[in-house]
């Protein structure tokens, strides 16, 4: 065991994860998938994130992504696999990650010794990730590690993201929150995806959102204005703490000094990506 602070792993994840997440908002991803014949933004997202599973249908994606409407997924899968194979999508996603990181960070950062150091640290952390009951992580863990350091870091960030995400879904289910209810409560914290982005991308209607709010009010988690009650705040805090516990092993394995250094490097690289416009300004928040 190390002397890690209780939230050290969460802080490290929060600084490394944006490097992976850039591909979902990058025009490079859309261009690479369009070259394969997949043009709908939702189909792009579902195929790029699910391709590690193989040519799966909507059930697998609904189960593992959790906060998306099954009907929306079914409009795109498995049909998209008749346009491009999972391996073609994975190859296109890696090309998009390469283009995106080079564009956002610049050639000097991509070729820097700090990038190689960050990749080495992040990959070391993934050595302690657990496959059991973590389907998205396990599928991605079977993929080869890219040779170039910036892509190796992106790959490691992907593994760490999906490892934590799989554990987070277990925590959400333990809290008796459906995928939509989890989205509503996360948005109510002010840190989650804004309602308009959630509705635009998740396949739910305004009526679905309102009905979820009503159920959460009945549980005493939201007030009349849609804000979290004290009980709601406590539940979200407990979910994050449970997620931290389930995701502690990679950061314990890396050690306190390694976690601190990876957090520092991740802060620099993710900060540069944010400054370069990696994410739309209105993605997060309550508005």
User: pLDDT tens track of the chain, all 287 residues?
Assistant: 557 988 999 999 999 999 999 999 999 999 999 999 999 999 999 999 999 999 999 999 999 999 999 999 999 999 999 999 999 999 999 999 999 999 999 999 999 999 999 999 999 999 999 999 999 999 999 999 999 999 999 999 999 999 999 999 999 999 999 999 999 999 999 999 899 999 999 999 999 999 999 999 999 999 999 999 999 999 999 999 999 999 999 999 999 999 999 999 999 999 999 999 999 988 888 76
Q: What is the pLDDT of residue 1?
A: 52
* Angle, CA 22 vertex, CA 20 and CA 24 arms, to 5°: 100
Q: What is the pLDDT of residue 2?
A: 59
**Tokens 């950062």, located at residue:** 109
CB 123 within 8 A of CB 152: yes
CB 201 within 8 A of CB 67: no
Could you say which DSSP state residue 36 is in?
T
Q: What is the pLDDT of residue 285?
A: 80
Q: What is the pLDDT of residue 38?
A: 98
CB 161 within 8 A of CB 17: yes
Question: SS3 for 191-258, per residue?
Answer: CCECHHHHHHHHCCCHHHHHHHHHHHHHCCCECCCCCECHHHHHHHHHHHHHHHHHCCHHHHHHCHHH
Q: What is the pLDDT of residue 161?
A: 98
Q: What is the pLDDT of residue 282?
A: 85
Task: Report pTM.
Answer: 0.96
Q: Which residues contact 111 (CB under 8 A, 6 or more apart)?
A: none
Separation CA 91–CA 97 (nearest Å): 10
**Tokens 């992976």, located at residue:** 20
Spatial CA neighbour of 72 closest among 109, 93, 45 = 45
């Amino acid at each position: 065991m190390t002397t890690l602070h209780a939230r050290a792993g969460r802080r490290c994840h929060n600084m490394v994860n944006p490097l992976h997440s850039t591909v979902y908002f990058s025009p490079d991803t859309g261009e690479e998938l369009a070259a394969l014949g997949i043009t709908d933004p939702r189909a792009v997202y579902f195929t790029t994130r699910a391709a590690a599973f193989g040519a799966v249908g909507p059930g697998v994606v609904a189960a593992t992504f959790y906060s998306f409407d099954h009907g929306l997924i079914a409009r795109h899968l498995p049909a998209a696999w008749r346009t491009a194979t999972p391996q073609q999508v994975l190859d296109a996603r890696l090309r998009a990650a390469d283009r995106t990181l080079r564009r956002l960070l610049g050639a000097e950062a991509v070729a820097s010794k700090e990038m190689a150091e960050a990749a080495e640290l992040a990959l070391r952390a993934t050595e302690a990730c657990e496959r059991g009951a973590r389907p998205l992580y396990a599928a991605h863990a079977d993929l080869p590690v890219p040779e170039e350091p910036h892509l190796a870091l992106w790959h490691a960030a992907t593994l760490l993201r999906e490892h934590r995400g799989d554990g987070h879904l277990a925590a959400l289910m333990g809290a008796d929150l459906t995928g939509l209810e989890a989205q509503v409560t996360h948005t109510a914290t002010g840190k989650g995806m804004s309602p308009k982005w959630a509705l635009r991308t998740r396949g739910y209607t305004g009526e679905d959102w309102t009905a979820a709010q009503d159920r959460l009010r009945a549980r005493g988690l939201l007030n009349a204005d849609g804000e979290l009650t004290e009980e709601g705040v406590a539940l979200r805090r407990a979910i994050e703490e449970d997620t931290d516990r389930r995701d502690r092993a990679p950061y314990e394995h890396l050690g306190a000094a390694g976690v601190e250094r990876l957090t520092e490097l991740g802060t620099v690289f993710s900060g540069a990506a944010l400054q370069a416009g990696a994410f739309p300004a209105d993605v997060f928040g309550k508005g």
